[in-house]
Structure 1
Amino acid sequence: MTDGAATTNEGEVRASFASQAESCRGLGSPFTALFCATMAERLDRRFAFGRRVLDWPGNPRADALALRCAGAFNALARSGRAPALTALYPPVEPSADTLWNGILAALAGHDAFLTGYLDSPPQTNEVKRCAVLLGGALMVARQTGLPLDLIEIGASAGLNLGFDLYRYEMGGCVWGTPTAPVTIRSEWRGALPPLDAPLAIATRRACDLNPLDPGDPEHRARVMSYIWPDQSDRIATTEAAFDAAARQSWRVEQADAAEWIEARLAVPQAHGQARLMMHTIMWQYLPEAAKRRIEQAMAQAAAAATPEAPLAWLRMEADGQPGSAAVTLAIWPQASSHAGGEREIARADYHGRWVEWR
């Protein structure tokens, strides 16, 4: 399938595409699975795009190379600049041969655009993860009885920072107003969080290494390109969240997560507010040194927490169990082992399609 000598990295690149195809099937995107499987089997070096991908200098899995490629072609299809490619995208269900021919035609006309799109890693805001954030925040609000001072790291465009303004449909239960700008539909398993707890947000701030402005059409298009095109509800939910976030006054700050957390936690906490640090599926991308700095800063802040100024840490992160992420919560000061120490409160689908509350 290649017109040049194979490199030592090519097998690893192709394996990463095949692995991503399996993940996409499990996460409900047969189209993206087909795209990745087709790339794994057929990509060659006749265009600059193929040469750059097959000779990728880094770790193709860690660099999310397959998703960079999928995002590049989805961006081109969404732009309307390659009508023949757009015509193959959902709701159409092309064969592998038809899709490959469309890929080749797109490369012939847009090789530079597609190759350049590989420069940046995928950046998304998975808005349905807000169901997890709502559940954890309600638990903090119920236990502390205080309004929340929200701080979020790895926030991207900040779409999840306004989770309390959305409406949630969780099986037979509903939280939020009918006029909310965004509706989160999530399959809910197990018990429910304290939906009747009074939830008030006093302040909210967030950071990201590469923050996106929800009001910027180019930033919006970039995020949407990484959302798998056969997941219509996910697309609609994210579009609505962009509209809602663009109308808000807050914006995500550009900062290194460790430096930002150290600075934020160094600011004396207001009495009468519970500070809640939260993040979703970003911890794995941090250098080990940054993780240790954040953990140390949180430990110092936890030691200084009081009932009038408590601290909580809510996270939804991969923990090695296949198919889902762990949702954990810690609250300080620890009045008892049940009330304080970090515990797993739920498991959740990585995209928030379902939550199993513990």
Structure 2
Amino acid sequence: MPLPDPIVDAFRQQADACRDLGSPFNAMVCDLLSDRLEPGSAFGQRIANWPGQPVADALALRACGSLHGLIRSGRCPALMAAYPPTPGTPDAVWTAIRTAIAEQDGFLTRYLDSPPQTNEVARSSMILGGCLTIAETFRLPLEIYEIGSSAGLNLGFDHYHYDLGGRSWGSPTSKVRIVTKWEGPVPLDVPLTVVRREGCDRNPLDPGSSADRDRLLSYIWPDQSNRLARIDAALQVAASANQNVDRADAADWVEQRLARPCTPGRARVLMHTIVWQYLPADTQRRIEAAVYQAGEVASGDAPLAWLRVEPDGVPGSAGIRLSLWPSGKSLLLGRADYHGRWSRWNAMAQQSETSAQTR
């Protein structure tokens, strides 16, 4: 019995996205699962009878992550032999997947419980551009607050080295090196100081825990060795930095953080990357209300910025948006690839400005 049509469509949609983002192997796995998986195992039944929305819940990525997680656990040599760096043919990969399901059905099924946490470090290039713009605007040190932080890798964005279209920023000795095809201006010479950094996640991962490290790396597509190496290096940096990521609901956390008294001489920055779509509508509403309320009491000596990199209906890229208070201006800074491979930045003078209070 084949999978239900909505499930098949979700896997095929994810396969197309994987191909577009440079992972033909993960695309093949999605296609194989959509075409050949049957509800004869606990793993197959859980996918076939998924209670939520398969696209919104990233069901295909959960399934792919479960297989990659099994490989990283070392529990299924047959699956390991069919995966990168020496991937097999589609038939060989499917045979290995069937073996994995037969031998480790419980492991794979339990893995579906948690949503993917990619924590793509190359998105830090977008955060860097936004924070440099904020620093240029306010000329103040920054307090950074991030929702959907996972292991906190992007909280340490200023600890990495960047090649932005041939222009460099950051320490040349950093273990984490991010190369982004960058088009457009960015104020790389502006002094940038981060005096506080905090994050939250419903299921934060500890970069110092080997189990959590493997969990995070399992959601990186197995044929993208550069991404795997970059995130592994960022995990090492985050483990030594001892950054704070709270286990919390995003709305509760934002309300609490923004209700704190402002510290004069600092700019507060709320930021998130590819998180908004996974939040319930009520959570989104509460966060927006908390931000606008904090914006009403922001001042030139204690300003507020809301930086977000999120899908906005334009195929193949995310919008980079920045709202500023006390001015209430909202700017479209540019667009970027979901995995940070490229970014097209606009000059501040070219931005169309709207009141953030009306958005």
Q: Aligning the two structures, in what range does the TM-score lie when normalised by the shorter sequence? A: over 0.9
Separation in 2 of the partners of 1:262 and 1:112? 39
| Counterpart position of 2:71 | 77
Matched, 1:311 2:304: yes
| Counterpart position of 2:32 | 38
Separation in 2 of the partners of 1:287 and 1:56? 18
Q: Equivalent residue of 1:277, what SS?
A: strand
| Counterpart position of 2:7 | 13
Separation in 1 of the partners of 2:256 and 2:5? 44
The amino acid across from 2:18 in the alignment is C
Deviations 1:300-350 (A, max 9, x none): 11111111111111100110111000000122121xxxxx51111010111
Separation in 2 of the partners of 1:161 and 1:348? 19
State whether residues 213 and 251 of structure 1, in contact with CA within 8 Å, keep that contact through their aligned partners in structure 2: no
Separation in 1 of the partners of 2:214 and 2:242? 21
Matched, 1:344 2:344: no
Give 2:248's match in structure 1, choosing from 255, 261, 283: 255
Separation in 2 of the partners of 1:251 and 1:84? 39
The amino acid across from 2:337 in the alignment is D
Deviations 1:261-287 (A, max 9, x none): 111111111111111111111111111
The amino acid across from 1:235 in the alignment is L
Separation in 2 of the partners of 1:165 and 1:180? 7
| Counterpart position of 2:212 | 219
Give 1:353's match in structure 2, choosing from 341, 344, 347: 341
Separation in 2 of the partners of 1:38 and 1:234? 23
Deviations 1:99-136 (A, max 9, x none): 11111111121111111111111122111000000001
Give 1:193's match in structure 2, choosing from 186, 198, 212: 186
| Counterpart position of 1:53 | 47
The amino acid across from 1:285 in the alignment is Y
What are the within-5 Å matches in structure 2 for residues 132-143 of structure 1?
A: 132-143=126-137
Q: Is the deviation greater in 9-18 or in 67-76? A: 9-18
| Counterpart position of 2:57 | 63
Give 1:154's match in structure 2, choosing from 148, 153, 157: 148
Deviations 1:30-60 (A, max 9, x none): 0000000011111113322112212222221
Gaps of 5+ in 1: 335-339
Q: Equivalent residue of 1:185, what SS?
A: strand
Q: Equivalent residue of 2:319, what SS?
A: strand
Separation in 1 of the partners of 2:52 and 2:260? 39
Separation in 2 of the partners of 1:299 and 1:156? 25
Deviation, 1:234, is 0.7
Gaps of 5+ in 2: 347-359
| Counterpart position of 2:263 | 270
Deviation, 1:192, is 2.5
Identity of aligned residues (%): 53
Deviations 1:169-197 (A, max 9, x none): 112111011112311111112x1210000
Separation in 2 of the partners of 1:270 and 1:59? 42
The amino acid across from 1:213 in the alignment is D
Q: Equivalent residue of 2:192, what SS?
A: coil
State whether residues 167 and 184 of structure 1, in contact with CA within 8 Å, keep that contact through their aligned partners in structure 2: yes
Q: How many residues align?
A: 346
Separation in 1 of the partners of 2:117 and 2:200? 14
| Counterpart position of 1:233 | 226
Q: Equivalent residue of 2:287, what SS?
A: helix
The amino acid across from 2:87 in the alignment is E
**TM-score (normalised: structure 2):** 0.94
Deviation, 1:357, is 0.8
| Counterpart position of 1:337 | none
